[in-house]
Amino acid sequence: MTVRVPAKVNVQLSVGPLREDGYHDLVNVFHAVSIFDEVVAKESDSITVQVDGKWSDQVPVDDSNLAIRAARALAKHAGRTYGADLVIQKDIPVAGGMAGGSADAAGALVACNELWGLGLPIEDLMEIAGDLGSDVPFSLIGGTAVGTGRGEQLSELPTGGTFHWVFALANGGLSTASVYAECDRLRQAAGAEVPWPQLNDSLMEALGTGDAYALGRNLSNDLQAAALNLRPELAPTLDAGGQHGALGAIVSGSGPTCAFLAIDATHARDLAQSLTATGAAHTAVAAHGPVQGAVLV
């Protein structure tokens, strides 16, 4: 069974105060884009994982791998002992703020649900996904959606067209936990009260009407300052995108991938070429969204 699952960019990521349980309440607007991993599940007596393609040397293949954890959680939910050899063809950056690990977990859930003939509905898979991580449920459904709570409580958002993006891929990753910790540190140092996160109405309208110019003006990420503090070299990359005509530039999620909104597909290709030609990014990939979540192919 082969499942294709997309990367994501956060067009709004508003982070509330630190909670007693160590998490933050979020308003997290996810947008699935056309950079994909593929997860293949084959019959086996045990659950294993192999990773091929880009970034494969950066992905653990032990019990910490999120796809293995997803398969085991699914088997436990079904109350049976199952096996699967999982093969991940990696194209989504690792620790890049694009939910690559979460995408693989979602792919494993869909692939194993089919391989094992469980026939579980999407509601069951979403429940299991929410226990695995805040981004995993969105990787199942794709499209555009707002996540609240830790980000796992999803409401799908209507999108009035296709948006075109360029992603500048950085060398090395950033730990999500480290970026959140830095965000908390910066806020504590500033001494300002952290507001409760609110959905940006102007961003909602831009998504609904398909207005790329308005969406570019309303991109926001409360983790960006922390990511830039940990990786200062990202700031010139973001600036370069604006200099080459990007409608908006933002760190994707916890970074270090930088996302640039383009006018159309042609502009996206030109922007990607300009970023690499000038050395602002060593790799820049054009993509579009929204796209479907985890799907059998």
- Which one is catalytic: 37, 91, 104, 135? 135
CB neighbours of 231 closer than 8 A, spacing ≥ 6?
A: 170, 174, 255, 256
The radius of gyration computed from the CA coordinates of the chain, to the nearest angstrom, equals 19
Calculate what percentage of the chain has a pLDDT beyond 90: 84
On whether 272 is known to bind a ligand per the annotation, the reply is no
78 CB-contact burial (10 Å; exposed 0-12 / middle 13-18 / buried 19+): middle
> 141: which DSSP letter?
H
How far apart (Å, rounded) are the C-alpha atoms in residues 85 and 40?
A: 8
Any binding-site annotation on 286? no
Q: Torsions phi, psi of 60, nearest 5?
A: -70, 150
Annotated active-site residue 124? The verdict is no
| Averaged pLDDT for residues 107-134 | 96
pLDDT of residue 226: 97
For residues 30 and 208, what is the distance between their CA atoms, to the nearest angstrom? 14
CA 233 to chain centre: 21
Both ends of the chain: CA-CA distance in Å? 8
Among 134, 137, 133, CA closest to 156: 137
The per-residue pLDDT for 16 is 94
292 in Cβ contact with 177 (< 8 Å): no
On whether 103 is known to bind a ligand per the annotation, the reply is yes
Local structure of 1: helix, strand or coil: coil
The answer to the question of whether 212 is labelled as a binding residue is no
Query: Across residues 14-31, what is the average pLDDT?
Result: 91
Q: Is 135 a catalytic residue?
A: yes
Is the sign of the CA dihedral 113, 116, 121, 127 positive or negative?
A: negative
Using the 8-state DSSP alphabet, how is residue 29 labeled?
E
Predicted confidence band at 21 (pLDDT cuts at 50, 70, 90)? confident
Cβ proximity of 231 and 169 under 8 Å: no
H or E segment and range at residue 203? helix 201-209
- 93 among annotated binding-site residues: yes
Q: What is the pLDDT of residues 153-196, one digit of tens each?
A: 899 999 999 999 999 988 888 888 999 999 999 999 998 889 99
Percent of the chain scored above 70 by pLDDT?
100
Region 257-281 average pLDDT: 95
Q: Specify the pTM.
A: 0.94
97 is in an annotated binding site: yes
- Going through the chain in order, the beta strands assigned E by DSSP cover 2-18, 24-43, 47-53, 84-90, 144-148, 153-156, 163-169, 220-221, 248-251, 258-262, 283-289, 295-296
Question: Residue 153's pLDDT is what?
Answer: 84
Q: Which amino acid is at 173?
A: G
Edge-to-edge order in the sheet of strand 283-289: 248-251, 258-262, 163-169, 283-289
Residue at token pair 């703020």:
97
- Our separate counts of H helices and E strands in the chain read 10, 12
Chain CA centroid to CA 129, Å: 14
The stretch 94-105 carries a mean pLDDT of 91
pLDDT of residue 151: 65
Dist CA 273 CA 283 (whole Å):
9
Is position 155 annotated in a ligand binding site? no
Phi, psi torsion values for 286, nearest 5 degrees:
-85, 145
Distances (CA, A) of 157 to 126, 154, 206, 212: 17, 9, 11, 16
Is 100 marked as binding a ligand?
A: yes
Q: Where are the beta strands (DSSP E) in 22-77?
A: 24-43, 47-53
* Choice among 8, 37, 91, 104 that is catalytic: 8
Instruction: With a cut of 80, say whether residue 272 has pLDDT above it.
Output: yes
